[in-house]
Amino acid sequence: MKYYGTKNNKDYGFYEQNFENAIEITDEYWMELLKQQSNGKIIIPFNGNVIAVNETEYSNENGTWKKLSEKEVNIKQLNIQSALRKKEIQNELEDLDKKRIRALAEPALKDEDTTWLEYYNTQIISLRNELSELDT
């Protein structure tokens, strides 16, 4: 037998010995939970049980896990995707800033009508516009 819970009201985990408010589980179920965790799920206490879930399907509010509605799941997933895209844009902007510095130091034409600096500035403006749309 294993026991799941927290001894300090903060850090949850599996234990060999029973303690106050611990949830008892079989060794077989414990191994199944660990397998699911290694496949990207999180382990949470829910309604007196221990379950492995996708992080986007549940929310922890004031120390209590709540199953999200389909609408809430979609919103949470969109927020995650938005945060990832923001990070991508920030990385792209940093790369373009380095290229702009180089374009200032070594002026050259990208094509007949456009300098490299103008080209990079155009890309930066586009990314900043996308970033501002994500912030709204």
Provide mean pLDDT across the span 75-102: 94
Q: How far, CA to CA in Å, does 99 sit from each of 61, 72, 95?
A: 44, 41, 6
pLDDT at residue number 55: 87
Residue 136 binned pLDDT confidence (cut-offs 50, 70, 90) = confident
The pLDDT of residue 60 is above 80: yes
Residue 29 binned pLDDT confidence (cut-offs 50, 70, 90) = very high
With a pLDDT cut of 90, the percent of the chain lying above it is 72
Residues in the chain: 136
pTM, two decimal places: 0.63
